[in-house]
Amino acid sequence: MTNLSLLSLLLAMLSSQSVFGQLFPGLEGEQLADAIRTEYKPTQLLTFSQAKDTLYARVFIQNDSVKCIYSGLSHYLPAGVDPSQWVFGSGNEVESINLEHGWPQAKGAGDGTDGQMNMYNLFPARVAINSDRGDFPYSDINDDATSKWYYLGQVMTTKPTVNINAYSEFKTGNFEPRESVKGDIARAMFYFWTIYRDDAIIADPDFFEQQRTSLCQWQEEDPVDDFENLRNDRISTYQSGKKNPFVLDCTLAKRAYCPLQTDCNSVSVIETNKASTVLRYDPSESRLLVDSDASQHWNINVISISGQNIYAFKIESNQWSDSLPLRSGIYIAYCFGEGGISILKIITP
């Protein structure tokens, strides 16, 4: 079999792992939230310092730049620099960026909590806009009540006359993201409220309910796009392989928190967490591990998207491989042995 034929077969097998259907079918409300929490809460997280650099350099990076989630302003991020220091600069430039907690630190994502470090709750944001948002809830703001409008490097105090949907809005007490990221924000908030409910309730039991109606509407109006899916894939590799399930299945929001939402078509979901043998990739060290109950040797192969053999070696179950430096690109890794076969797509920025 040629390498290209093998690659085609592996891609077909990878695709066949996907099924169209709901996660946790038949469950709703708190039963569904409990099931999501049990299945999708990560057991491993980066430190907050590691998460910052990783988010800038490996998760939100697009065309060598990082964009403010609220204004869309790009900040160039060259190779070989400290990502956090570079995008922050002095903190006073228009393009200065730091990390925004979608679920605020004062509302349950405080220092040392898992919610502070979980990357599904973190977004690059212009320092000035992040400061204005503070710990206010998200909501739709009447344009006549808006006191600040944010777009690229601008901050305006009067209503824009064109391209109004590209602006985020602020008034004391509320913050409204621009239209194209409202769904991204909503799915991050649903995730935090589900996974870290106890911390959120202790900090402010009313915070979620204050914005639930807006979040439900945004989830419906701004469906998942390709970059949000890519970010979900990238973050999961650093967080126990656990994805944000609200990105995977659009019905979760309706069944858990938004009963008045219209029905949506379930997306393609890969249930890798339930497999007995799972190949995992650690992008921070560029290494592979076969997570398996079977104690044995595994044959590992890594193939480029063009069909070129990159690596071939053997490792034992549940032991990390040596570092496998990979250039920017897309790769297919697969392992096989007596305990089965597992296939993994690797995307390196």
Domains located in the chain, CATH noted:
3-9+273-348 (2.60.40.3080), 18-270 (no CATH)
Q: Which two tokens stand for residue 308?
A: 């070129």
| pLDDT at residue 9, rounded to an integer | 63
How many helices (H) and strands (E) the chain has is answered by: 12, 16
pLDDT at 272: 39
| Mean pLDDT split into 10-residue runs, the chain, 349 residues | 62 54 88 96 94 95 94 96 97 96 97 96 98 97 97 97 96 97 98 98 98 97 91 90 93 95 67 62 85 83 87 91 88 82 82
Amino acid at 132: D
Please give the C-alpha separations between residue 37 and each of 235, 321, 336, in angstroms, as whole numbers. 17, 30, 31
Residue with tokens 């799915």: 187
Vertex 264: Cα angle to 260 and 267 (nearest 5): 140
CA–CA gap between residue 100 and residue 127 (Å, rounded)? 9
Q: Identify residue 249 by its one-letter amino acid code.
A: D
